């Protein structure tokens, strides 16, 4: 089978390898669509993410779907839940499986991800998708789940106003999830014009470009919003969230910063009595909620996919990811 392996920062190569052999409780999945994520960008550009580094060539990819290729479910279209938590630790038993420290997570070293023709993965983590979720859209269900988890952390309720600062795919899905959940006014910012246009078409009411320092035009005239989401991985976006959220509001930090560092001025956050929450991945129910929202037609996905590549052109796909010239890039391993 074909496999893309990251060898180090900026070094991703195509390999031909034997097909995996599924272990007990696992099935093979023929991978049809794998989305490239901001965390994949960190792995590619920095050779790691947080404290985890590339020690030997491994396979990225955790936003993924395909067709079951073994067992009784062969032929079934599925989205792959990338997190396999232990289920037994205190964190898991408390209902926070997304925070399990013993988790196996596809595409996070050392667990192989989906950028290969075939993936062996526990069958209970292969979730059936209805025919209403077409083709490559299956690769956007996991990031939509990330957005839904962020909404929960923001204690969002119908009619609340919101700010989304950073309009990459996660930010755009946050806007769409907020609109589907009955948000009042939504404001958004990003430095890239094509992302601002996508934010407007996703349902944002007021979109503004950021300047060279990462601050939106007229930021002091913006807000206050009930809840603010930082989705850029940049300190300036955190500062924007602190400045625009109402006194006593909540700020949800979703973005992953470069070099594992974030900072902000504490005085304003303290003066306003803000609650800051850091989001990590999603809980199991959010994948099912994502499927349900798309199945009911409440969230559109297909227009977010701006580039598709066969796995043979994987290095080119990562070059485009670095350039941030589109929205969601999808690699099709079995094409």
CATH 2.40.160.20 fits 147-278, yes or no: no
SS (H, E, C) the chain: CEEEEEEECCEEEEEECCCCCCCCCEEEEEEEEEECCHHHHHHHHHCEECCEECCCCECCCCEEEEEECCCCCCCCEEEECCEECCCCCHHHHCCCHHHCCCCEECCECCECCCCECEEEEEHHHEEECCCCCCHHHHHHHHHHHHHHHHHHHCCCCCCCCEEEECCCHHHHHHHHHHHHCCCCCEEEEECCHHHHHHHHHHCCCEEEEECCCCCECCHHHCCCEEEEEECCCCHHHHHHHHHHEEEEEEEEECCCCHHHCCCCCHHHHHHHCCEEEECCCCCHHHHHHHHHHHHCCCCCCHHHEEEEEEHHHHHHHHHHHHHCCCCEEEEECCC
Q: Report the DSSP beta bridge partners of residue 122.
A: 26
Same fold, 2-133+301-332 and 147-278: no
Q: Which pLDDT score, from 0 to 100, does residue 60 have?
A: 96
333 vs 1: CA distance, rounded Å: 9
Could you tell me the pLDDT band of residue 214, with boundaries at 50, 70 and 90? confident
Reported confidence tier of residue 289, pLDDT bands at 50, 70, 90: very high
Would you kindly state where each structural domain of the chain is located, as residue ranges?
2-133+301-332, 147-278
Cis previous bond, 104, omega within 30: no
Structure tokens at 67: 């067709």
Percent of the chain, pLDDT > 90? 83
Give residue 256's pLDDT.
Answer: 86
Distance (Å) of CA 289 to CA 35, 124, 142, 229: 19, 17, 10, 20
Contact 35, 328 (CB under 8 A): yes
Q: What kind of fold does domain 2-133+301-332 have according to CATH?
A: Quinone Oxidoreductase; Chain A, domain 1 (3.90.180)
- 55 pLDDT band (50/70/90 cuts)? confident
Instruction: Band the pLDDT of 280: cuts 50, 70, 90.
Output: very high
The span from the CA of 225 to the CA of 244, in Å, is 6
- Kindly report the average pLDDT of the chain as a whole number: 94
Instruction: Examine the pLDDT at 265 and tell me if it is beyond 90.
Output: no
CB-based contacts of 149, cutoff 8 Å, min separation 6: 98, 279, 281, 282, 283, 286
Q: What is the pLDDT of residue 76?
A: 97
For the stretch 120-150, pLDDT in tens is 999 999 999 999 999 999 999 999 999 999 9
Q: Answer whether residue 259 shows pLDDT above 80.
A: no
Per cent of the chain over pLDDT 70 is 100
pLDDT tens column, 299-334: 999 999 999 999 999 999 999 999 988 899 999 999
- pLDDT for 182-201, tens place per residue? 999 999 999 999 999 999 99
Q: Place 115 in a pLDDT band, splitting at 50, 70 and 90.
A: very high
pLDDT tens readout for residues 147-185: 999 999 999 999 999 999 999 999 999 999 999 999 999
Does the pLDDT value for residue 50 go beyond 80? no
Q: 86-100, pLDDT tens digit by residue?
A: 999 999 999 999 989
Block residue for tokens 């037994």: 88
Comparing CA positions, the residue from 30, 31, 63, 51 lying closest to residue 305 is 63
Q: Cα–Cα distance between 139 and 330 in angstroms, integer?
A: 8
């Amino acid at each position: 089978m074909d496999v893309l392996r990251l060898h180090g920062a900026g070094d991703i190569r195509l390999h031909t390898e034997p097909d995996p052999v599924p272990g007990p409780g696992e099935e093979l999945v023929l991978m049809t669509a794998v989305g490239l994520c901001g965390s994949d960008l960190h792995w590619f550009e920095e050779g790691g993410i947080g404290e985890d580094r590339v020690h030997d060539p491994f396979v990225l990819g955790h936003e993924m779907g395909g067709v079951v290729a073994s067992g009784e479910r062969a032929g079934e279209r599925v989205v792959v839940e990338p997190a396999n938590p232990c289920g037994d630790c205190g964190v898991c038993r408390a209902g926070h499986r997304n925070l399990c420290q013993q988790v196996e997570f596809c595409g996070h070293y050392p667990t192989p991800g989906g950028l290969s023709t075939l993936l062996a993965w526990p069958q209970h983590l292969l979730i059936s998708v209805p025919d209403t979720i077409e083709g490559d859209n299956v690769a956007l269900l996991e990031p939509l789940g990330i957005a839904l988890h962020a909404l929960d952390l923001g204690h969002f309720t119908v009619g609340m106003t919101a700010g989304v600062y950073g309009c990459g795919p996660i930010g755009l899905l946050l806007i769409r999830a907020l609109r589907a959940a009955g948000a009042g006014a939504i404001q958004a910012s990003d430095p890239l014009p094509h992302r601002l246009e996508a934010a407007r078409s996703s349902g944002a009411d007021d979109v503004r470009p950021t300047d060279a320092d990462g601050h939106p035009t007229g930021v002091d005239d913006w807000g206050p919003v009930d809840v603010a989401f930082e989705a850029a991985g940049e300190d300036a976006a955190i500062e924007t969230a602190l400045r625009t959220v109402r006194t006593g509001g909540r700020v949800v930090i979703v973005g992953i910063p470069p070099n594992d560092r974030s900072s902000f001025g504490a005085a304003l956050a303290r003066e306003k009595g803000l609650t800051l929450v850091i989001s990590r991945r999603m809980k199991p129910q959010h994948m099912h909620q994502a499927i349900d929202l798309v199945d009911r037609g409440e969230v559109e996905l297909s227009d977010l996919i701006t580039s598709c590549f066969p796995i043979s052109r994987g290095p080119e796909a990562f070059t485009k990811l670095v350039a941030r010239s589109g929205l969601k890039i999808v690699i099709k391993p079995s094409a």
